[in-house]
Structure 1
Amino acid sequence: MSDAPERKLLALSVAVLAVFAIPAGVLAPVGSASAVGNAAGNWQTFQFDQQNTGNASDAPDYASVTSGWRAGNQGTDVASGPTVSGDTVYVGDGSAVKAYAEGDGSLSWETSVDGPVFGSPAYDGGSVYVATDGGSVYALDAATGAITWQRSTDSNGADFGSFAGSVTVGDGGSLYVASEDGHVYKLSNDGTQVSAAYDMGSPAGAMTPAVYGDRVYVGDRSGTLHMLSAGDLSAQSTNDVASGALNSPAVTEDGQRIVVTASDGTVAAYDTDGNQQWADTSSYGSSFASPAIHKGMAVVGTTDGTVAAHDIDSSGSQQWTATVDTKNTFGASVTTANGTVFVGTDTGDVSLLDASDGSTKARATAASSAMATAPTVADDALYVGTDDGAVVQFLDANAAFSVTGISAPGGVTEGDIGTVEADVSNAGTADGTYTARLTVDGQVVDTERVSIAKGSSKTVTFDHKFVTVGYPTVSVGSQSTTITVASGSSSGGGGGGSDSGDDPTTTETPTPEGTDATATPAEPDDGDGSETTETATTEGSTATEAVTDTPESTGTASTDTPDSTDQSEESDDGGDEEATSGSGPGFTAAIALLAVVAAALLAARREN
């Protein structure tokens, strides 16, 4: 046998060692590329998405709000709901499109267009699209505001009518827009083509098409809902819904239901074949707001200030109603996020309602003038536009607790009392009350409640009697340490004392001599503010304690906030770090594979 196979095997063994010598993380796993889409914290189009759901499911569960920044207010009119992408807020303001920095509200750019912008700007792929009352569709560079293109005629060269709604960006980048000339148009995203048009036979009004899959849903001023093919805009179904003008429809997340409201107060739901599933034609006087889709419910706002939730999938039964103050003009407009319904009103107020029952969480004043559109929810910031030209930011007002350190005696004698101290900080935007729980070997043995102002820290002290000899782990929140409990007949340890002050993220195995042990992360904190029941156990006795973990008080811009509650869970995750030493599974696999190669090499030599 030649030495060629031997050389090949030797080369293979070197390659194996080289691969396993590469540091972890350098070789990315296949298929790990991030998905492209409406990322968390963004609200890139009218009512959040191309389905007009009005629901930001990735936003936090707001309890209240506190004032952020205010920009504009130059006597113009922000008639469109702001849209947010990345670190920029976009609005139509009179006959201009403006971009503001999300952080401080400073004006990034302003671009004049040929008429008022009544719809929300739509962001997609670095471009911002708007349709104007002057009858044009624009594409602007999102970074600079420069006009990329403008189109004001259809494929036959006829002028568009005026537009009062928003542009919807469909799959593949096609643009859909409904006009007061009674047509729905489909444009290419470079503005060079109007590839399809559909005549509704009635003006569109303030209509923004909803798109799901291969369907486009759009209503008109006569009360007709049109279901169109997204490809060529051919009619698939037309449905007479109401005697008044329809507001922009909303499509459920699964695309199976289309919910519409109308200026005559009608609320109705249809399936994708155009069959009416239910309709409520008598509960409300009128509505000029699109519904929001939230966890199987359609939430609607009306001109008289009624906000209501209807079950989408059954008979459309009313689940709850609430009332906010309005001037009976635009009335109430709604969006939703997580467990909250956000209501903008023509009085200039923003109300936060509990999505489960409609109860009021908080209320804040955005302006003395009206708001004609629903609030925009971009993660922990809320944006509204007012008819005096202002864009107003509110911030989620919640306490955010974390346990940042723990100290305990290095050792105690059996039966002695040891003092455990924990540092708790509140990095949130509101004051709150935290319930600290002392656990010994995973069992809650004591609790202390402490009120902490936003941006502040406090130390919580526990005096606990240790009656069992051993090396128990004591924890508060995400911080823990191990102490030594010596027998009463031995000379080790002693009551009281302080911890060693070592890095709390490392751990040291305790010794019988009672040396100080350093703090280690405990189990992750859930931080969900839910009501929990803990079982407190001490040596020789047991007790059960029910603890309610919700915010107690908040510092907000609220003019009317209901009774406060406690927030009692810290927000730190307390997760363990992964081991990266040479004893890990990757290194073991390398040794095993190298052994196989070596065995093959030995066999080759013997054969030779």
Structure 2
Amino acid sequence: MNRNCLRTVFAIAVVVLGAGPPAPASAADGHSRQQLASGDWPTYHHDNARTGEAADLAPLGTLGTAWQATLDGAVYGQPLVVGGQVLAATENDTVYALDPATGAVRWSAHIGEPARRAELPCGNIDPLGITGTMAYDQATSRVFALAELTGGQHVLVGVNVNTGAVEVRTELEPPKGDRLAHQQRAALTVFGDRVYVAYGGLAGDCANYIGSVVSATTAGSDPLSYSVPTTREAGIWAPGGGVVDGQRLLYAVGNGESTTGYDDSDSVLALSPTLQRVDLFAPDTWADDNAQDLDLGSSSPTLLGDHVIAVGKRGTGYVLHHDNLGGIGGQQAKAEICQSFGGSSTKGDTAYLPCNDGPRAVRIAADGTPTVAWHADGTANGSPTIGGGAVWVVDWNDGVLYALSPADGTVLAQLDVGALPHFASPTLSGDHAYLGTMTGVVAVSGA
């Protein structure tokens, strides 16, 4: 088994599920542990390596709308599938469990009142509630979400997936800047017995925000934090959130204000589980990237074999060695790929990258040089996932789901799915795809 396969197995078997086997049920629990099963999708892009692959998805069939669930707000995060139910969270700060066959609500948990645009210094989501994709922890049978509440409060909640009971509730604020200026868009990561939450700013880059990662245990205790050492900005907002590589979490960081002294912005950072910065990469163009808002922070890092691919707003793709990111200008290779916004997926020797003019399939040569194998339909601008012999990606401008050929990117099937949020990404399970929409969740049959 090659190193990438070993790392993916580790991510699925240990990182996503927590270190070690789950404890047995006890009377004190009041419920049984919810084990993961075939078809489950417990975190953004399936696993903590963010491979985005549903290896057991049924072969592509005729696409159709199985159901549409109208919830109490838009669903910006990727829906999860755990224990025979679809989990979704809304911008009205409500977590739902839905029947995967019908979309009927099995339970819901309303966390509080979301922030309104009128009370925020800028932004484009109104109301602003739960935006980042939730993450499931098998050891506690809880799904974790970060809710933004009126007044700018940020609250981490852990909801029991069997009952809908809110079992953990704790403030988890960004450590620096004005809390009203921060938005939590990046997916949450459950790693061992801790939950990791990254913060960026609001659309418009206004007011005093500083990119950070904060963490608490799955019991809601022992908070830790890391802040980018910049005077302002450097948001960590790419939808994929923390990407786990062994014992390190990789985050893409946006532009900071400095153009004279390097401040850890416009970078890929590797953080330890205790949130110490242990490695970094930044382009040697970092100062110009910061000045022109052409940073790496728009797309999550991609693990492919022993490499990390970093692509952002400038369009240059940088290939890094996963255990030595290279510092400033220390990439193994680089090439022009695309302006990338969102989260990638991987299968074998190929990475499927989200691009604003259609996804790319990228392979890495023996010397590290990245090569674009194909460039698909120019309107499909969402974050791709893989399964059933297809690459699944949306055009969130026009509300269309595409199934593309993994070989050449040609369109195998497509379906209108309605209004979608930015960076929407299909969840794949069984013979369905699930998408968060501006009104709730849509299920697509034939996947």
Counterparts in 2 of 1:556 and 1:244: CA distance versus 1, 3 Å: closer
Task: Provide, for residues 490-521 of structure 1, a one-character-per-residue CA deviation record: whole Å limited to 9, x for no partner.
Answer: xxxxxxxxxxxxxxxxxxxxxxxxxxxxxxxx
Is contact 1:198–1:234 with CA below 8 Å preserved after alignment?
Answer: no
* Aligned residue pairs, count: 316
Does the alignment pair 1:323 with 2:302? no
Counterparts in 2 of 1:556 and 1:353: CA distance versus 1, 3 Å: closer
Separation in 2, partners of 1:279, 1:116 = 35
Aligned equivalent of 2:349: 339
Separation in 2, partners of 1:385, 1:206 = 19
Is contact 2:50–2:243 with CA below 8 Å preserved after alignment?
Answer: no
Separation in 1, partners of 2:53, 2:305 = 9
Aligned equivalent of 2:254: 263
Counterparts in 2 of 1:58 and 1:179: CA distance versus 1, 3 Å: closer
Counterparts in 2 of 1:351 and 1:123: CA distance versus 1, 3 Å: same
Secondary structure of 2:360's counterpart equals strand
Separation in 2, partners of 1:369, 1:58 = 24
Counterparts in 2 of 1:304 and 1:43: CA distance versus 1, 3 Å: farther
Aligned equivalent of 2:19: none
How big is the alpha-carbon RMSD for the aligned residues of Structure 1 and Structure 2?
A: 3.0
Moved over 6 A (4+): none
Secondary structure of 1:396's counterpart equals coil
Does the alignment pair 1:132 with 2:90? yes
Does the alignment pair 1:360 with 2:371? yes
CA drift at 1:216: 1.4
Task: Provide, for residues 171-197 of structure 1, a one-character-per-residue CA deviation record: whole Å limited to 9, x for no partner.
Answer: 232111123342222222122224232
Task: Provide, for residues 454-502 of structure 1, a one-character-per-residue CA deviation record: whole Å limited to 9, x for no partner.
Answer: xxxxxxxxxxxxxxxxxxxxxxxxxxxxxxxxxxxxxxxxxxxxxxxxx
Separation in 2, partners of 1:140, 1:312 = 38
Structure 2 counterpart of 1:168, from 127, 131, 135: 135
Separation in 1, partners of 2:189, 2:93 = 20
CA drift at 1:45: 3.9
Counterparts in 2 of 1:280 and 1:213: CA distance versus 1, 3 Å: same
Task: Provide, for residues 341-372 of structure 1, a one-character-per-residue CA deviation record: whole Å limited to 9, x for no partner.
Answer: 1112111x121111343543532433x5352x
Separation in 2, partners of 1:333, 1:193 = 29
CA drift at 1:217: 1.4
Stretch moving more, 292-301 or 335-344: 292-301
CA drift at 1:125: 1.0
Separation in 1, partners of 2:199, 2:214 = 8
Separation in 2, partners of 1:261, 1:396 = 26
Does the alignment pair 1:54 with 2:67? no
Per chain length, whose mean CA-contact separation is higher, i.e. which structure has more relative contact order (CA < 8 Å, sep 6+)?
A: 2
TM-score (norm 2): 0.63
Counterpart residue type for residue 217 of structure 1: Y
Counterpart residue type for residue 172 of structure 2: D
Does the alignment pair 1:273 with 2:274? yes
Is contact 1:56–1:377 with CA below 8 Å preserved after alignment?
Answer: yes
CA drift at 1:42: 7.2
CA drift at 1:150: 1.9
CA drift at 1:46: 1.5
Structure 1 counterpart of 2:311, from 277, 290, 301: 301
Does the alignment pair 1:240 with 2:224? no
Separation in 2, partners of 1:117, 1:556 = 28
Separation in 2, partners of 1:278, 1:253 = 12
Secondary structure of 1:252's counterpart equals strand
Structure 1 counterpart of 2:156, from 181, 184, 200: 184
Secondary structure of 2:69's counterpart equals strand
Structure 2 counterpart of 1:378, from 370, 387, 406: 387
Separation in 2, partners of 1:268, 1:150 = 36
Separation in 2, partners of 1:246, 1:252 = 15
Aligned equivalent of 2:400: 390
Aligned equivalent of 2:241: 249
CA drift at 1:127: 0.9
CA drift at 1:199: 2.3
Output aligned runs, 1:552-567, within 5 Å: 557=410
Aligned equivalent of 1:488: none
Separation in 2, partners of 1:38, 1:250 = 23
Counterpart residue type for residue 109 of structure 1: W
Aligned equivalent of 1:210: 189
Is contact 1:333–1:344 with CA below 8 Å preserved after alignment?
Answer: yes
Is contact 2:344–2:385 with CA below 8 Å preserved after alignment?
Answer: no
Secondary structure of 2:144's counterpart equals strand
Aligned equivalent of 2:217: 229
CA drift at 1:146: 0.7
Q: Considering only CA atoms, is the larger Rg found in Structure 1 or Structure 2?
A: 1
Separation in 1, partners of 2:309, 2:324 = 15
Secondary structure of 1:144's counterpart equals coil
Counterparts in 2 of 1:369 and 1:219: CA distance versus 1, 3 Å: same
Separation in 1, partners of 2:40, 2:97 = 19
CA drift at 1:331: 4.0
Counterparts in 2 of 1:332 and 1:183: CA distance versus 1, 3 Å: closer
Structure 2 counterpart of 1:114, from 53, 57, 72: 72
Counterpart residue type for residue 134 of structure 2: V
Counterparts in 2 of 1:225 and 1:215: CA distance versus 1, 3 Å: same
Counterparts in 2 of 1:47 and 1:556: CA distance versus 1, 3 Å: closer
Aligned equivalent of 1:589: none
Residue ranges of structure 1 left out of the alignment (5+ in a row): 1-35, 60-84, 88-100, 398-554, 559-608
Sequence identity percentage:
21
Separation in 2, partners of 1:149, 1:355 = 45
Separation in 1, partners of 2:370, 2:310 = 15
Counterparts in 2 of 1:224 and 1:135: CA distance versus 1, 3 Å: same
Aligned equivalent of 2:205: none
CA drift at 1:269: 0.6
Is contact 1:374–1:384 with CA below 8 Å preserved after alignment?
Answer: yes
Aligned equivalent of 1:195: 168
TM-score (norm 1): 0.47
Counterparts in 2 of 1:556 and 1:271: CA distance versus 1, 3 Å: closer
Counterparts in 2 of 1:205 and 1:393: CA distance versus 1, 3 Å: same
Counterpart residue type for residue 274 of structure 2: D
Task: Provide, for residues 60-118 of structure 1, a one-character-per-residue CA deviation record: whole Å limited to 9, x for no partner.
Answer: xxxxxxxxxxxxxxxxxxxxxxxxx744xxxxxxxxxxxxx952211111111122211
CA drift at 1:332: 6.5
Aligned equivalent of 1:482: none
Counterparts in 2 of 1:358 and 1:103: CA distance versus 1, 3 Å: farther
Counterparts in 2 of 1:227 and 1:293: CA distance versus 1, 3 Å: farther
CA drift at 1:383: 0.3
Counterparts in 2 of 1:180 and 1:333: CA distance versus 1, 3 Å: same
